[in-house]
Amino acid sequence: MTHLLPAFYFGLFLVGLLIGLALILRNRHSLAYTYFGFYNLITAWGFFVSFMLVSGLIMQFPSFFRTAAPLHYLWGPLCYLFVRNLLSSNNRFYKTDILHFLPFMIHFVELLPFYLTAREYKIQVLSGMFSSGDRFGIYEGLLTSYWHSILKFSQMLIYNILQWRILYLFNRTQNKLFKENNKLIINWVMFINITGTVMILSAQLHRIMMSRPALFGISLPDILFYMYYLGIWYYMLVKTELLSGIKLYHVVPAHEGFAIHDSGTLISRRARGYEELIIKMETQMQAHQPFLEEKFNIALLSKQVNSPEYKISKAIKFKFGIHFPEYVNRYRIDYIEYNFSKNPEWKKYTIDGMALSAGFNSRNAFYAAFKKIKGITPTFFFNRS
């Protein structure tokens, strides 16, 4: 039994390390999966330090002691940023995102004097911890390990709530085809949120209620913590496409007549920038369907995707060779086509009714857009269908 626990921790370290590296190296251009890759690497490092502690090797290499402590303040932010960027198809790091990393940086600065102390002092601290059997009574800067543990799990709970909010807003879309084609991602984030909520609440309750924890005794929160990560890793190993960085699948519209020019470094960089913006726009248009609003315009889309209007216009022109009004009208017409073919109730609609349901403000605007995009009138198209 004495060798099982060290072997268990070392095994968790290896699995977390391999999965974290796979996520980062196989998705070098995805900021979302980079966040999640580092989330797993931090977890793996925590398991490695635990291995050093339970095996006794920490006494030979005391410099590893407390190296995982500040990193645990990154659990909540990294998981939240992963969910945020994944469900918004956002590949951008905002200046304000640095605020998410402040608790980590503050705690690292707190522990810096300890990291710089002599090897003998670290061994003395470790010896005191082993003899007292209390790993939570040691000071980490201004606070003990116990209070830092409370703060870390409180922070994780706040970020977990924010993740639920993101998922709730994402699931409000009425685009059933979009949700159906992205079921794996939705289920994946749902699994992370549910297991995370259970693990965080149980661990926090245990931290608050316990009096003096055993040094290396495995409690119920410990078991749930291990099950949480084993569940996530098992999910990714079974659904191997997650390791490859599965992204939101955009189902409509089938835009025609576009090409990405890749001649020269400047054009290539511009193309990548436009591609990233287009993905954000397509996600917004398909997940939330703002084009169904009659007053929807480029200014509203600019606010929704947090990008200037002129960049949106240039991206649409570069990617699709069309202007913004036609881009929106293609979505509206594809929306009408899809519902007409899939929803029996739409067979009873008049052409005016279909146009208004899709966001067109008049019959004439619908006829003009339909004739331009389809080459035939709506009357002829729907009578033929």
Which runs of consecutive H residues, i.e. helices, occur in the chain? Answer: 4-25, 31-55, 75-88, 102-115, 119-132, 145-171, 176-181, 183-209, 220-238, 265-288, 298-305, 309-320, 324-342, 351-357, 363-374, 378-384
Q: How far apart are CA 369 and CA 274, in angstroms?
A: 25
Contact between 342 and 385 under an 8 Å Cβ cutoff? The reply is: no
Q: What is the pLDDT of residue 239?
A: 84
What tokens appear for 153 in the block?
């799990």
Alpha carbon separation from 286 to 19, 71, 334 (Å, rounded): 31, 37, 11
Could you tell me the pLDDT band of residue 252, with boundaries at 50, 70 and 90? very low
pLDDT surpasses 90 at 157: yes
Q: How far apart are CA 86 and CA 194, in angstroms?
A: 17
Q: How far apart are CA 100 and CA 337, in angstroms?
A: 44
Contact between 47 and 9 under an 8 Å Cβ cutoff? The reply is: yes
More confident residue, 219 or 54: 54
State the DSSP H helix or E strand holding residue 144, giving kind and residue range, or none if neither: strand 143-144
Q: What is the pLDDT of residue 265?
A: 41
Q: Which residues pair with 140 in a beta bridge?
A: 143
pLDDT surpasses 90 at 51: yes
pLDDT tens-digit map of 11-33:
999 999 999 999 999 888 889 99
Strand 143-144 vs strand 139-140: parallel, antiparallel, or unpaired?
Answer: antiparallel
Residue 147: name the closest of 158, 137, 160, 157 by CA: 137
pLDDT surpasses 80 at 155: yes
Q: What is the pLDDT of residue 220?
A: 66
pLDDT tens-digit map of 304-362:
998 999 999 999 988 888 999 999 999 999 899 888 888 888 888 999 999 999 999 99
pLDDT tens-digit map of 75-109:
999 999 999 988 887 777 888 999 999 999 999 99
Could you tell me the pLDDT band of residue 136, with boundaries at 50, 70 and 90? low
Q: Which residues pair with 139 in a beta bridge?
A: 144
What tokens appear for 344 in the block?
């029996």
Task: Report pTM.
Answer: 0.74
At position 116, the amino acid (one-letter code) is L
Contact between 91 and 31 under an 8 Å Cβ cutoff? The reply is: yes
**What is the arithmetic mean of pLDDT over 1-17?**
87
End-to-end CA distance of the chain: 72
Q: What is the pLDDT of residue 40?
A: 95
Q: What is the pLDDT of residue 135?
A: 67
